[in-house]
Amino acid sequence: MRILITGSNGLLGQKLVDLLYRQLEVDVVATSRGTNKLAAIHPGLRFVSLDVANQEEVEAVLARERPTHLIHTAAMTNVDECQLNQDACWASNVTAVQHLVAACAQHSVHLTHVSTDFVFSGEEGPLAEDAVPAPINFYGNSKLAAEQLVQASTGPWAIVRTVLVYGTAHDYGRTNIVLWVRDSLRAGKAINVVDDQYRTPTLAEDLAQGCWLVAQKSATGIYHISSSEVLTPYQMALQVADYFQLDKSLITRVDGSTFSQPAKRPPRTGFIIEKAQRELGYQPHDFQSGIAILARQTEPS
């Protein structure tokens, strides 16, 4: 099978390349805007520069590369930036998906589209795949519109929804809750962490594994891929402090109203992952194990 990955320079994209590059039965084609960040790590990796918002580029790359499967990870995911720059968000998260859906259907490519818990209102959780979406911010609106485009495709498709992804990757500038808490406390910096938002945090390696299982089985439909452990960011921060033996008194428990953010956050999401466990054989790490994996990747040996 030949798997084309969009957004290969991002966190999930890099984890997918790392995972799929080791699979003897998989021919990987990595695509992203700009240059290949993984050239030094995977010197034999086939990389193609691709702006998924450009219809002509999408059509040309799929016609030339002829993948059997496409895993779409590229997206504008900064929730506040999406709220403030709605045209750019729509181009990245909806228009691009429209191009990919059309090209995948034309070439009979199995499309795995990565989506988010932010398609839900946050009034209740954890949520199964048949929960009714009702986004409360523009990012969620864009991701729901993308889901609807995928679901209307005439080709084979799967939607992988996920929650609060954390991890670390090569030359990847964005931080995550584990590293933010660890580095802040090590610097003696006091931090405010919300305790009224509930999530099932997802290790990036687990999300990559879930996407690979979907592609491997050419599964279709919607799958919720996260951990099964419902935690607030405050509870996560305490676990991080305990793991690295740092001063928990620097962590102040607050609620979401403490922060002035352009985009509203759903208060309670998190996923029920029984379908993915049953149909795909998906088995995620718990948060404590995820912290340990990040520690091994980022701490000097």
pLDDT at 195: 97
pLDDT at residue 172, rounded to an integer: 79
Report the pLDDT averaged over residues 35-49. Answer: 95
pLDDT at 173 over 90: no
In whole angstroms, what is the distance from residue 212 CA to residue 37 CA? 21
Residue 184 has a pLDDT of 97
Q: Which of 130-139, 203-212, 222-231, 255-264 has the lowest mean pLDDT?
A: 255-264
The whole-number pLDDT of residue 57 equals 98
Question: What percentage of the chain has pLDDT greater than the value 70?
Answer: 100
Q: What is the pLDDT of residue 28?
A: 98
Inter-residue contact 107 to 42 (CB < 8 Å): no
Does residue 162 fall inside a structural domain?
A: yes
- Amino acid 14: pLDDT: 97
- Tell me the C-alpha distance between 281 and 197, whole Å: 29
253 falls within a domain: no
pLDDT band at 225 (very low <50, low <70, confident <90, very high): very high
In 3D space, the residue among 195, 218, 183, 211 whose CA is nearest the CA of residue 294 turns out to be 183
| pLDDT (0 to 100) of residue 301 | 67
CA distance 204 to 272: 18
Q: Which domain holds residue 275?
A: 2-169+201-228+270-286
Give dist(CA 118, CA 242) in Å, integer: 29
Mean pLDDT of 85-108: 98
- pLDDT, tens only, 98-128: 999 999 999 999 999 999 999 999 999 999 9
pLDDT digits (tens, 9 = 90+) for 246-295: 999 999 999 988 888 999 999 999 999 999 999 999 999 999 999 999 99
Return the percentage of the chain with pLDDT > 90, whole number.
95
**Whole-number Cα distances in Å, 28 to 3, 156, 280:** 5, 19, 21
**What is the rounded average pLDDT for all residues in the chain?**
97
Q: Is the pLDDT of residue 217 over 70?
A: yes
Pair of tokens at residue 294: 């990040």
Task: Using the predicted structure, report yes or no on whether residue 90 has a pLDDT greater than 70.
Answer: yes
In a domain, 179, yes or no: no
Total domains in the fold of the chain: 1
0.85 surpassed by pTM: yes
Identify whether 52 is part of a domain.
yes
Residue 192, domain member (yes or no): no
Q: What radius of gyration, in Å, describes the C-alpha atoms of the chain?
A: 19
Average pLDDT over residues 187-192: 98
Q: How far apart are CA 239 and CA 57, in angstroms?
A: 45
Task: Please tell me the number of Cα atoms within 13 Å of 212 on its side-chain side.
Answer: 25
Assigned domain for 274 exists? yes
User: Is residue 26 included in any domain, yes or no?
Assistant: yes
Does the pLDDT value for residue 220 go beyond 90?
yes
Q: What CATH number did the domain enclosing 114 receive? A: 3.40.50.720
**What tens digit of pLDDT does each residue of 55-68 get?**
999 999 999 999 99
Instruction: Look at residue 297 and tell me if it is in a domain.
Output: no
Query: Residue 5: pLDDT above 80?
Result: yes
Determine contact, residues 114/165, Cβ cutoff 8 Å. Answer: no
